[in-house]
Structure formats: structure tokens, C-alpha cells
Amino acid sequence: MPRPFRFGVNLLAPAPGAEWRATCRRAEELGYDVILVPDHLGMVAPFPALVAAAEATERPRLGTFVLNAGFWNPALLAREVATTDALTGGRLELGLGTGYVPAEHEAAGLPFGSPRERVDHLRRTVVELDRLLGSEEHAPRPVQPRVPLLIGANGDRMLRLTAGHADIAAFTGARPGAAAGSLQPLTAEELDERVARYRGLAAGRARPAELNLLIQLVAVTDDPGPVLKPLLERLPGLTLEQALALPIVLAGPLDDVVAKVRAQRERFGFSYLTVLEPSMEAFAPVMERLREESA
């Protein structure tokens, strides 16, 4: 029996309080299960944004997608997590990653580190958060006995960490590109290999993790060519047919997009999909159709 779908939207645009709350209420109205925020300079500060989202909504879970571990000291992060979980009534889901934009670390006056150093720091952060938040002596206390942990991963060491610790295994569907801070999308075959690698590492888990995929583009249209033109311009050599086949792209008529989401759950196990804020409205009819079919 496949795991039921969950859908999240990652809100990217800073906004005044009234506008921010209205966007969060709209996400709830559209049926999103999770309201998420990133951790990039120039975007919203994650934890106050989630507290404001909680005040504006009743049903959705609230999460970070994902925190850049290099920005955070584990003890200070534990305080933020516990406080935010308490202030949101136990609705928090914590997403963590290594960070991938060197310029942000430079602007913050923080070392970026090698890939190994960034993964090592994330590992220490995960272990220390487990220790601190798992202690009855830690103050403040979160509401949830365990705040669900999502880890965004692609490389082998990150997949091993995810297999050992994460409640939600988030696949970026991309790898670092040639330019610093850029990402190169994975083909379906490449993602097959990454998911298979994760499953091998997670084979001994008592409880399987939920599998998440970040969707970069959603367009319900009979003519996806114009929508995909900017992507094709950024990735020379990629044909329209190849772009449409990318797991992180959902573009085409509604029936085709719905069928692709179902097929990707069957093929990869992705039951939790995250879309970016610019796709929030476009993805709504896809969610509605999938829920109607599951009812």
C-alpha cells in the first residue's frame, strides 16, 4: 500500500506581516499540508516566519526547507527549535542541509568549508540536537516528543546520514553545477540510482522514512514549450522532451501531470512533494485531482 500523498509549499518572498499571513492562509485554503520556509540570505528569517504562519493558519504543519547547518550553532538551534515548536502548538518539522551557496557564507562572515567539512558539521548538529532535545532537562521544551527531522541529501555521505537519522528523506533531484551555488537537475535514471543507494543504506530501519522530492517547476498547460524555455536556455543541450522527463519538472496538461506524480510515487517512492512559491497556485488543481482519486 503506497504512503498517502502530502504536499508542501516553500515560501520564498519576504513580505510585510499582513501580506505574509495572507499568503499562508492562501496556502491553507489551497490544501497544502505543510508551509515551509528556506534558509537563504535575502529571504525570510525561518523561525519568526513560521511562528507568524502558525498564527495565521490552523491546519498545516510548518517546516524549514532546509536550514543551512553552517549558519547555526547546535545549542542555539536547539533553543530555536524548541521555542518554535512550542509557539506553533507542536506543528514544527525541522529540515536540515549542508548549504551550497559560498557567497552567503562570505556575506555572513562564516567559513564555507569543504564538502566533507560541511557534512561533518551537519552530522554533529544532528547528533547534538538529538541529545539536547531528547533531554528532559533541556529548556525550553518542545511540544512534540520528537520534532520530525527532514534531511536534504544527494551525495553518498549525506544519504548515509539521512538513512541513519531522518524521519523524512528529501531528495533535491539535482547535484551541484559547475558554477558556485548552481544546481544541475538529475535525470530519472540518475535519481533511480540515488534512491536505490538510499534504500540500501536504510535497509535496517525499523520504520521507513517518508520520501520527499522538491519540484522546481509546475505548469498545467497544453503548451509547455514557452514555460520551459528559460530552463532550456540555462541548460544548453537539453531538449524539450528531456526537460519534460526530468523528475523535478511537472509541465503539461492536467491529466499528464497527475499521471506523472502517481508514476513517480510508484517508481521512486515520493509521497511528499514540495513546490516553490511561484508554483503554489499552479499545483493546486494537481493536489485536488490526486485527492479526489484517492478518496
Q: Can you give the pTM of this predicted structure?
A: 0.96
Q: Mapped to the 3 state alphabet, what secondary structure does the chain carry?
A: CCCCCEEEEECCCCCCHHHHHHHHHHHHHHCCCEEEECCCCCCCCHHHHHHHHHHHCCCCEEEECCEEHHHCCHHHHHHHHHHHHHHCCCCEEEEEECCCCHHHHHHHCCCCCCHHHHHHHHHHHHHHHHHHHCCCCCCCCCCCCCCCEEEEECCHHHHHHHHHHCCEEEECCEEECCCCCCEEECCHHHHHHHHHHHHHHCCCCCCCCEEEEEECEEEECCCCHHHHHHHHHHCCCCCHHHHHHCCCEEEECHHHHHHHHHHHHHHHCEEEEEEEHHHHHHHHHHHHHHHHHHC
Q: Given this model, what pLDDT does residue 137 score?
A: 97
Q: Given this model, what pLDDT does residue 135 score?
A: 97
Give per-residue pLDDT as tens, 205-238: 999 999 999 999 999 999 999 999 999 999 988 9
Q: Given this model, what pLDDT does residue 178 score?
A: 61
Domains and CATH numbers, the chain: 6-294 (3.20.20.30)
Give per-residue pLDDT as tens, 128-177: 999 999 999 999 999 999 999 999 999 999 999 999 999 999 998 988 76
